[in-house]
Amino acid sequence: MLGAEAAFSGRFFGQGPMSELIQKGLPSGVIAVVKRGCPTCALVEPVLESLDRSLSLTVYCQDDPAFPQSLSTLDDTHLEFSWNNEIETVPTLLHVVDGREVARTVGWHRGEWESLTGVSNLGLDLPEMRPGCGSLSVDPEYELDLAVRFGGDRLKSRRIELARLEDEMESLYDRGWSDGLPLVPPTERRVMAMLKGTSRSPDELVAIVPPDLVECTVEKVAINAVMAGCKPEYLPVVLAAVEAACTDRFNMHGLLATTMTAGPVIIVNGPIRKAIGMNSGRNVFGQGNRANATIGRALQLVIRNVGGGRPGEIDRATFGGPGKITFCFAEDEEGSPWTPLSADFGVEPGVSSVTLFPGEGPRTLVDQLSREPESLVLGYAAHLQNMHHPKLVMAFDCVLAVGPEHARVFREAGWSKEDLKVRLHELLLSPKEQMVRGAGGMAEGLPEGVPLVSVPKFRPDGILVVHCGGDAGLFSAIIAGWVNGGAGSAPTTVEIRS
């Protein structure tokens, strides 16, 4: 198999796409790829016999080296020629000059075959055209095994051979790759399948991963995504999350090293939320949704296994929290009265993105009686003032996750997202004398010399508002942040690439 920091061989491994294959040493002339089980291939057998008399023709057959019976057919039942030359349909006709393909046509179309071969009046007794059949080399039953057999050498991660009696699951624990939960063994076949989720090259550099500042390729991310339990269609989201986490702005190294509880929280916006089935509704921060659970876990595994960010070592959290295994969710854009979070960071509508926030676990905000926005926002402010400590101000951002029933109160009153933020900032201004050290008998607080009369709880852009959660329950939630800016971490948004 392919290692997490490398990759498992033998029974495990990982790497990717096949589109960059360079065709070498093809026989010049015309090449036909067929299979006996294809009705169109059987239909054009007389045409192939005619071409064989007129020009240099080479025929490869995928399922019977004796077909067509009248021609000297090359055996491609192992499908190496078809895979290496990306044959997706049979029959496929190639025109080769000096060992390189210069033209291709698929299925049977008289005009296209005549144009490619330069031979006129082909198959005049046949229909003008017939579609072909799927190539065996792209049959789901064989495709991944072929990719491992013929494309595995493009995977750069080291292979790890397991002893015959060694348990695959336990071997992952023993090598220190696990976050404490069972992992999916990253076999070559599984990593090949994962890499089909992106058009990016397996050897493309994604990021330099802290704390050890190790180069991380698409292949390495795919291996850890396999172990996390991701599906291939999740991979673009994981890649974007890794890119965001490894920026100076987000400062993943600092977030790891802090003694506070925070870890990376992934918030997903855009069409990809629906495409991969993410949860933005009931139990949005909880268990049960594969995409939510495994995308966040994959990011954490990359940081652990590629970057070396392990608890008890560089990870110095005093308490930690379950969110440090995975914390990922989607915003409910369709039900929201406001523009999505991604728009606050300049992302155009309809573009998928991830926003990473350095946050702790969610804290429920209960208000079941407010039916006017002013009452509701007063309750929000009271909760937010106490975040971390009532006298710790301007040091931490927060995510305010507004539930649908609370959002309805703001919608019906015509409050915009900006209205909500402005009012919260107003309510969270406190006289300096109440915030300084020793005030109220609490040693915590600001130094006396702070040149302010009134002290805000948050920076002007320190409150991030998202809409999510179940449609029953008059609740919202607060995700408290880690130190913002400077030596801390700032929310970071990255667009998702396919």
Q: In whole numbers, what is the pLDDT of the chain averaged over residues?
A: 93
Residues 209, 109: Cα–Cα separation, whole Å: 52
- Give the integer Cα–Cα distance in Å for 161 and 390: 55
Which pLDDT does position 260 carry in this prediction? 94
Q: What are 75's strand-pairing partners?
A: 61
Q: Per-residue pLDDT for 280 more than 80?
A: yes
pLDDT recorded at residue 3? 62
- For the cut 80, the answer to whether the pLDDT of residue 33 exceeds it is yes
Residue 450: per-residue pLDDT? 84
Whether residue 257 has pLDDT greater than 60: yes
Could you tell me what percentage of the chain is helix, strand and coil, using 3-state DSSP and rounding each to the nearest 5? 30, 20, 45
Those residues with Cβ within 8 angstroms of residue 445's Cβ, 6 or more apart along the chain or in another chain:
391, 392, 435, 436, 437, 438, 439
Tens digit of pLDDT for each residue in 112-150?
Answer: 999 999 999 999 999 999 999 999 999 999 999 998 899
Give the amino acid at 299: L
Give the Cα separation of 349 and 481 in Å (integer): 26
Q: Which of 352 and 447 is assigned the larger pLDDT?
A: 352
Contact criterion met (CB below 8 Å) for 456 and 463: no
495 pLDDT tier (thresholds 50, 70, 90): very high
Q: How far apart are CA 455 and CA 447, in angstroms?
A: 12
pLDDT band for position 73 (50/70/90)?
very high
Q: Which of 30, 32, 35 is nearest to 133 (CA)?
A: 35
Question: Does residue 360 sit in helix, strand or coil?
Answer: strand
Percentage of residues in the chain having pLDDT higher than 70: 95
Report yes or no: 38 and 133 within 8 Å, Cβ to Cβ. yes
Residue of 498, 19, 21, 9 whose CA lies nearest to 272:
498
At residue 20, does pLDDT exceed 70?
Answer: no
* pLDDT value at 197 more than 70: yes
Lowest mean pLDDT among 341-345, 380-384, 448-452: 448-452
Question: Which structure tokens are listed for 65?
Answer: 């080296």
The number of angstroms, rounded, from the C-alpha of 118 to the middle of its chain's C-alpha atoms is: 47
Query: With contact defined as beta carbons under 8 Å apart, do 334 and 461 qualify?
Result: no
pLDDT at residue number 2: 64
Containing 103, the helix (H) or strand (E) segment is strand 100-106
Cβ atoms 434, 465 nearer than 8 A: no
pLDDT of 167 above 50 = yes
> Cα dist. 420→336, 414, 457 in Å?
14, 10, 15
Of the listed ranges 47-61, 176-190, 440-454, 462-476, the one predicted with least confidence: 440-454
Rounded Cα gap, residues 111 and 120, in angstroms: 9
- The pLDDT, as a whole number, for residue 153 is 76
Selected residue with higher pLDDT from 165 and 197: 197
Quick check: 14 pLDDT over 50?
A: no
- Structure confidence at residue 17 (pLDDT): 32
**164 compared with 108, residue with greater pLDDT:** 108
Whole-number Å distance between alpha carbons of 445 and 454 = 14
| Mean pLDDT (whole number) for 221-231 | 98
Mean pLDDT of 252-261: 94
Average pLDDT over residues 92-119: 97
Of residues 12 and 394, the one with the higher pLDDT is 394
34 Cβ neighbours under 8 A, 6+ residues apart: 41, 44, 48, 59, 60, 61, 62, 67, 68, 90, 91
CA–CA distance, 318 with 154 (Å, rounded to integer) = 42
As a whole-number percent, the residues of the chain with pLDDT over 90 amount to: 86
- Going by C-alpha positions, the residue among 148, 188, 172 that lies closest to residue 2 is 188
8 A C-beta contact, residue 91 and residue 32: yes
Distance (Å, whole) CA 303 – CA 215? 11
Which of 22, 19, 352 lies closest to 201, judged by CA? 19
Amino acid at site 340: P
CA distance 392 to 446: 7
Q: Is 20 exposed, middle or buried (0-12, 13-18, 19+ CB in 10 A)?
A: exposed
**Residue 51 Cα to chain centre, angstroms:** 48
DSSP code for 496: P
**Amino acid in the structure at residue 6:** A
* pLDDT for 18 beyond 50: no
Q: What is the spatial distance between Cα 440 and Cα 462, in angstroms, rounded to a whole number?
A: 26
Q: Which domains does the chain have, with CATH numbers?
A: 29-138 (3.40.30.10), 206-495 (no CATH)
Rounded to an integer, what distance in angstroms lies between the CA atom of residue 210 and that of residue 215?
Answer: 9
Residue 169 φ then ψ, to 5°: -65, -45
Give the whole-angstrom CA distance, residue 298 versus residue 191: 13
pLDDT at 466 over 60: yes
Write the DSSP assignment of 181-250 as a string of letters.
S------HHHHHHHHTT-SS-TT-EEEEETTTTEEEEHHHHHHHHHHHT--GGGHHHHHHHHHHHTSTTT
pLDDT for residue 5: 52
**pLDDT at residue 16 tops 90:** no
State the sign of the Cα–Cα–Cα–Cα dihedral 192, 195, 200, 202: negative
What's the confidence (pLDDT) of residue 4? 57
